[in-house]
Structure 1
Amino acid sequence: MTNLYFVRHAHSTYSADELNRPLSERGREDARKVTDILKNESINVLISSPYKRAIQTIQGLTGIYDVDIVIEEDFKERLLSDKHLSDFDSAIAKVWEDYSFAWEGGESNIVAQNRGVRALEKVLERYVGKNIAIGTHGNIMVLIMNDLDKRFNFTFWKQLNMPDIYKLSFDNQRLIEVNRIWEKS
């Protein structure tokens, strides 16, 4: 069995700089909880989106498991648009309603999902039988999960916590089960 622990990043301090947006104080506290939850999961590999908030959310595991974080560009968050969208809620609902629709300069669900699934397949091929923690983002995580099982949809995405952890267990490339292992206190 190969186990992937998708870790949606903790709360961050908002800035327009997506790449370098850091965790907030609450986010840093929750990142410590992520470390606490995953410290007994025998993690072999740490992978993260290049975004600082995703890296910081799993960074505490580097000392416990004595492994470095491998950056995987394709686990970065989906780009909704390269323009300011005044109503985020309706903008995100629109792309989930029509998987081929993309806002100006942004990724459609299909494009983002294909990117994420390619990254997932690469991880499953490279790390067979390993336990892998992946620091990522809510939308791309759910799009990847949706490719595997349609119950992971927009409604599912809306109920995610920040952070959140889902363990996906695979037999080779076949998904066996999904378990949520984050309990927000």
Structure 2
Amino acid sequence: MSTIYLIRHCETTGQAPDAPLTPGGEEQARRLCTQLLELPITHLISSPYRRALDSIQPLATALKLPITREDALKERQLSAVPLDDWQDHLRQTFFDPDYTCPGGESSRIATERITRVVDEALQQHDGSILVTHGNLLSLYLHSIDPTFGFEESLQLKNPDIFKVTRIQKQTIIEHLVAF
């Protein structure tokens, strides 16, 4: 049996890779640290985006653990161009894993990259925390539980925590309440 934790970053000021946390997001990061200190954490792995790194930095400081930056945990790019009806396109990606917008990444490709990181952590780094983003996290959850779809993805919070346990070849997801 192996267990890791998937975390959606805290509240942010925007979607750009260098967008910082809001003041409320900074407080969430401190509270998240307090909550996660109760867990047997061995590794911290994060998206390279600032909002993800800043969300886990208080825990890294408290545990004196380095944060490994993992490009495969960055958010999925839905499109390279602005879309007025982006939520309609996003909804479509839950029904058609190969659907892509101009310059965007399909759900299939995005799911494959997060699944590789999760599988590696479950095999090699029991007790890891992986910090990522809402859409990518939703796609992973959808791959494990197809009833977790677009509407459920809209219910994710900042931050949000999921415990992922692998027992033999079965993956079990448990939604933990943040604070």
TM-score by length of 1: 0.89
| Offset, 1:63 | 2.0
Residue by residue over 1:121-167, the C-alpha shift from the partner in whole angstroms, topping out at 9 and shown as x without a partner, is 2222221xx21111111111121122222232222211111111111
| Offset, 1:98 | 1.8
Kept in 2, the 8 Å contact 1:5–1:165? The answer is yes
2:4 aligned partner, one-letter code: L
Partner of 2:2 in structure 1?
2
Whole-Å separation in 2 of the counterparts to 1:158 and 1:82: 22
Structure 1 residues 133 and 154: CA distance shift in structure 2, 3 A = same
Task: Report the number of matched residues.
Answer: 179
Whole-Å separation in 1 of the counterparts to 2:104 and 2:141: 20
Matched, 1:12 2:8: no
SS in 1 for 2:163: strand
Which residues of structure 2 form unaligned runs of 5+?
none
- RMSD over aligned Cα atoms: 1.6
TM-score by length of 2: 0.92
Residue by residue over 1:60-97, the C-alpha shift from the partner in whole angstroms, topping out at 9 and shown as x without a partner, is 11122211001111111111011111223222112223
Kept in 2, the 8 Å contact 1:96–1:109? The answer is yes
Partner of 1:179 in structure 2?
175
| Offset, 1:177 | 4.3
Matched, 1:70 2:68: yes
Whole-Å separation in 2 of the counterparts to 1:53 and 1:173: 32
Aligned with residue 150 of structure 1, among 146, 149, 161: 146
| Offset, 1:176 | 3.4
Which residues of structure 1 form unaligned runs of 5+?
none
Deviating 4+ runs (over 2 angstroms): 171-174
Matched, 1:124 2:131: no
